[in-house]
Amino acid sequence: MIDAIARELPATGRLGVAYSGGVDSATLLAVARRVLGRDRVLAILAVSASLPAAERRSAVELAAAIDAPLVEIVTRELDRPAYAANGPDRCFHCKDELFTRIDASLVAKHGLVAIAYGENADDTQRPDRPGTRAASEHRVLRPLAAAGITKAQVRRLAASLDLPVADKPAAPCLASRIPHHEPVTAEKLRQIEQAEDGVRGLGVRDVRVRHHGEIARVELDSGSLNRLGDADFRAAVREAALAAGFRFVTIDLAGIQSGAFTLPLVAVRHG
């Protein structure tokens, strides 16, 4: 797999990797570091209100463990009306903001010849990934997808590279917890982040707190759903959401649901 990805990397010059610390971008960064060498790769981490502080810290630590230089850039997707309006194409405006911020001055400053990001081959088949269009418009490379590397293969490769995120649950941005056409605001993102941090503090491996106004709809991983018979655990989950400013708390018995808000809308459009 490494050889297949290597063929999609620039033959000369320095590569910038749009990096979040998730398994896809971390694996791409690690492979690029191995193939190109330290001096020819740069991790670019976008920092904004939609990135949880804990994710930012772990991303910085992981880049250091990979031994890849890292720069942080500030993205201001919340200032974009189309992003804040939160339509099904919100991810396009987020990625467009990211790739716009990786501008000519940053490219020149760090001597970059290309930018890449961690889209995998499975992502290209999903209708709820409008960020793909932004990558195409900005001529951003997608080495994993181009090499035909699926999500399962990414995880196997990450494990073979001893990356601690090999089995890390997906961590979509905080805005993904807000129903489409309900505005994205910094306050909502703060509430979601605080509530999820509180629930994770109970030993929960994966959680999504969906923001429905005064109501927090909590999605838990399957192992944590099995703990719902414990009244103390239920009370602690409720308290974590109340402390974040919600008035009411529900737990969704379906558990974690990837694309819960976006897929129904784009499925209708593509059906």
| Residue 157 buriedness (CB in 10 A; 0-12 / 13-18 / 19+) | buried
Rg (CA), the chain: 19
DSSP for 109-147, please give it. HHTEEEEEE---TTGGG-TT-THHHHHHHTT-B-HHHHT
pLDDT tens by residue, the chain, 271 residues: 999 999 999 999 999 999 999 999 999 999 999 999 999 999 999 999 999 999 999 999 999 999 999 999 999 999 999 999 999 999 999 999 999 999 999 999 999 999 999 999 988 777 666 778 888 899 999 999 999 999 999 999 999 999 999 998 888 889 999 999 999 999 999 999 999 999 999 999 999 999 999 999 999 999 999 999 999 999 999 999 999 999 999 999 999 987 666 655 554 444 4
Per-domain residue ranges of the chain: 2-160, 174-262
Instruction: Provide the β-strand partners of residue 212.
Output: 215
Question: 234 CB contacts (<8 Å, ≥6 apart)?
Answer: 228, 251
Sign of the Cα pseudo-torsion (124, 128, 132, 133, in order):
positive
Which class does domain 2-160 fall in?
A: alpha beta
Q: Would you say 266 and 180 are in contact if contact means Cβ atoms under 8 Å apart?
A: no
Phi, psi dihedrals of residue 41, rounded to the nearest 5°: -140, 145
Phi, psi of 165 (to 5 degrees): -95, 10
The CATH number of the structural domain formed by 174-262 is 3.30.300
2-160 shares its CATH topology with 174-262:
no
